Amino acid sequence: RHVLSLVIPPELEKAGPLNKTKVAEGGRKLRKNWSSSWVVLVGNSLMFFKDPKAQTPTSWKPGHSKPESSIDLRGAQLHWVNDMSSRKNVFWLRTVTGNEFLLQSDTETVIREWFSTLHGVIERLERE
Ligand code: I3P
Protein backbone atom coordinates (compact mmCIF):
# COMPACT_ATOMS: atom_id res chain seq x y z
CA ARG A 1 0.00 0.00 0.00
CA HIS A 2 2.85 2.42 0.81
CA VAL A 3 4.41 1.65 -2.56
CA LEU A 4 1.13 2.37 -4.35
CA SER A 5 0.87 5.78 -2.75
CA LEU A 6 4.19 6.72 -4.33
CA VAL A 7 3.28 5.73 -7.86
CA ILE A 8 -0.41 6.55 -8.07
CA PRO A 9 -1.17 10.24 -8.52
CA PRO A 10 -2.93 12.24 -5.80
CA GLU A 11 -6.46 11.55 -6.96
CA LEU A 12 -6.13 8.06 -5.50
CA GLU A 13 -9.32 7.67 -3.48
CA LYS A 14 -8.99 4.19 -2.08
CA ALA A 15 -7.02 0.98 -2.47
CA GLY A 16 -7.13 -2.42 -0.86
CA PRO A 17 -7.90 -6.10 -1.22
CA LEU A 18 -11.39 -7.38 -2.08
CA ASN A 19 -12.84 -10.58 -3.46
CA LYS A 20 -14.33 -10.15 -6.89
CA THR A 21 -16.28 -12.06 -9.48
CA LYS A 22 -17.72 -10.92 -12.76
CA VAL A 23 -21.31 -12.12 -13.17
CA ALA A 24 -22.26 -10.63 -16.54
CA GLU A 25 -20.56 -9.17 -19.58
CA GLY A 26 -22.49 -6.89 -21.87
CA GLY A 27 -25.66 -8.03 -20.09
CA ARG A 28 -24.93 -11.73 -20.67
CA LYS A 29 -24.73 -13.84 -17.54
CA LEU A 30 -21.37 -15.43 -16.77
CA ARG A 31 -20.38 -18.32 -14.55
CA LYS A 32 -18.90 -17.02 -11.30
CA ASN A 33 -15.20 -17.27 -10.66
CA TRP A 34 -14.29 -15.60 -7.37
CA SER A 35 -10.73 -14.37 -6.94
CA SER A 36 -8.92 -12.00 -4.64
CA SER A 37 -7.98 -8.72 -6.20
CA TRP A 38 -6.14 -5.54 -5.26
CA VAL A 39 -8.67 -2.83 -5.99
CA VAL A 40 -7.66 0.75 -6.71
CA LEU A 41 -10.08 3.67 -7.11
CA VAL A 42 -8.63 6.65 -8.96
CA GLY A 43 -10.92 9.34 -10.31
CA ASN A 44 -13.67 7.66 -12.37
CA SER A 45 -11.83 4.36 -12.65
CA LEU A 46 -12.02 1.29 -10.51
CA MET A 47 -9.01 -0.87 -11.33
CA PHE A 48 -8.40 -4.49 -10.43
CA PHE A 49 -4.86 -5.77 -9.97
CA LYS A 50 -3.71 -9.25 -9.15
CA ASP A 51 -3.73 -9.65 -5.40
CA PRO A 52 -0.20 -8.82 -4.20
CA LYS A 53 -0.53 -11.58 -1.60
CA ALA A 54 -0.69 -14.05 -4.48
CA GLN A 55 2.46 -12.63 -6.04
CA THR A 56 6.10 -13.25 -5.34
CA PRO A 57 7.77 -10.07 -4.02
CA THR A 58 9.58 -9.46 -7.30
CA SER A 59 6.60 -10.03 -9.58
CA TRP A 60 4.55 -7.32 -7.86
CA LYS A 61 5.68 -4.00 -9.29
CA PRO A 62 2.74 -1.63 -9.16
CA GLY A 63 4.55 1.09 -11.08
CA HIS A 64 4.94 -1.29 -14.01
CA SER A 65 1.96 -3.57 -13.73
CA LYS A 66 -1.20 -2.83 -15.66
CA PRO A 67 -4.53 -3.55 -14.07
CA GLU A 68 -6.08 -6.88 -15.07
CA SER A 69 -9.22 -4.93 -15.71
CA SER A 70 -10.58 -1.47 -15.18
CA ILE A 71 -14.10 -0.10 -15.10
CA ASP A 72 -15.52 3.36 -15.67
CA LEU A 73 -17.82 4.33 -12.82
CA ARG A 74 -19.72 6.97 -14.81
CA GLY A 75 -23.36 5.83 -14.91
CA ALA A 76 -22.61 2.73 -12.85
CA GLN A 77 -25.18 1.23 -10.48
CA LEU A 78 -24.46 -0.16 -7.05
CA HIS A 79 -26.63 -2.26 -4.72
CA TRP A 80 -26.20 -4.42 -1.65
CA VAL A 81 -27.28 -7.99 -2.46
CA ASN A 82 -28.25 -10.91 -0.26
CA ASP A 83 -29.52 -13.34 -2.87
CA MET A 84 -26.71 -13.37 -5.43
CA SER A 85 -24.15 -15.27 -3.41
CA SER A 86 -23.81 -17.61 -0.47
CA ARG A 87 -21.12 -15.21 0.78
CA LYS A 88 -21.82 -12.43 3.26
CA ASN A 89 -20.93 -8.74 2.77
CA VAL A 90 -21.52 -8.65 -0.97
CA PHE A 91 -22.47 -5.78 -3.23
CA TRP A 92 -23.28 -5.74 -6.94
CA LEU A 93 -21.90 -3.20 -9.38
CA ARG A 94 -23.01 -2.71 -12.98
CA THR A 95 -21.31 -0.51 -15.55
CA VAL A 96 -23.18 1.33 -18.31
CA THR A 97 -21.79 -1.25 -20.72
CA GLY A 98 -23.65 -4.03 -18.89
CA ASN A 99 -20.69 -5.59 -17.12
CA GLU A 100 -21.73 -6.80 -13.68
CA PHE A 101 -19.52 -7.64 -10.74
CA LEU A 102 -19.90 -8.84 -7.19
CA LEU A 103 -17.43 -7.48 -4.67
CA GLN A 104 -17.01 -9.01 -1.23
CA SER A 105 -14.95 -8.86 1.94
CA ASP A 106 -15.17 -11.06 5.00
CA THR A 107 -14.65 -7.88 7.03
CA GLU A 108 -17.88 -5.92 7.23
CA THR A 109 -16.23 -2.54 7.90
CA VAL A 110 -14.03 -2.99 4.81
CA ILE A 111 -16.92 -3.70 2.45
CA ARG A 112 -19.00 -0.89 3.98
CA GLU A 113 -16.21 1.61 3.38
CA TRP A 114 -15.87 0.52 -0.25
CA PHE A 115 -19.62 0.74 -0.79
CA SER A 116 -19.79 4.20 0.72
CA THR A 117 -16.77 5.48 -1.23
CA LEU A 118 -18.02 4.08 -4.55
CA HIS A 119 -21.51 5.40 -3.89
CA GLY A 120 -20.05 8.85 -3.29
CA VAL A 121 -18.01 8.76 -6.49
CA ILE A 122 -20.95 7.56 -8.60
CA GLU A 123 -23.17 10.33 -7.17
CA ARG A 124 -20.49 12.94 -7.78
CA LEU A 125 -20.17 11.79 -11.41
CA GLU A 126 -23.96 12.08 -11.85
CA ARG A 127 -23.77 15.74 -10.82
CA GLU A 128 -20.89 16.58 -13.20
C1 I3P B 1 -20.18 -21.89 -8.29
C2 I3P B 1 -19.16 -21.57 -7.21
C3 I3P B 1 -19.38 -20.18 -6.67
C4 I3P B 1 -20.82 -20.02 -6.19
C5 I3P B 1 -21.82 -20.36 -7.27
C6 I3P B 1 -21.60 -21.75 -7.80
O7 I3P B 1 -19.98 -23.21 -8.72
O8 I3P B 1 -19.29 -22.48 -6.16
O9 I3P B 1 -18.47 -19.94 -5.62
O10 I3P B 1 -21.02 -18.67 -5.85
O11 I3P B 1 -23.10 -20.27 -6.72
O12 I3P B 1 -22.49 -22.00 -8.86
P13 I3P B 1 -18.90 -23.62 -9.86
O14 I3P B 1 -17.55 -23.51 -9.25
O15 I3P B 1 -19.28 -25.00 -10.21
O16 I3P B 1 -19.09 -22.65 -10.99
P17 I3P B 1 -20.96 -18.07 -4.36
O18 I3P B 1 -19.65 -18.46 -3.77
O19 I3P B 1 -21.04 -16.58 -4.59
O20 I3P B 1 -22.14 -18.58 -3.62
P21 I3P B 1 -24.41 -19.76 -7.47
O22 I3P B 1 -24.64 -20.69 -8.61
O23 I3P B 1 -25.46 -19.82 -6.42
O24 I3P B 1 -24.16 -18.36 -7.95
pLDDT in the model for residue 29? 97
ipTM: 0.91
77-80 and 69-72 as β-strands: parallel, antiparallel, unpaired? Answer: unpaired
The minimum-distance atom of ligand 1 relative to the CA of 34 is: 9
100-104 and 12-25 as β-strands: parallel, antiparallel, unpaired? Answer: antiparallel
For a substitution probing ligand 1, which of 86, 88, 104, 111 has the most ligand atoms within 8 Å of its CB? Answer: 86
What number of residues does the chain have?
128
The minimum-distance atom of ligand 1 relative to the CA of 23 is: 24
Q: Ligand 1: distance of its center to the CA of 87 in Å?
A: 10
Average pLDDT, the chain: 88
For residue range 33-73, what is the model confidence (pLDDT) as tens digits?
A: 999 999 999 889 999 998 766 665 554 455 556 788 999 99
pTM score: 0.86
Name which residue sits closest to atom 3 of ligand 1, judged by CA. Answer: 32
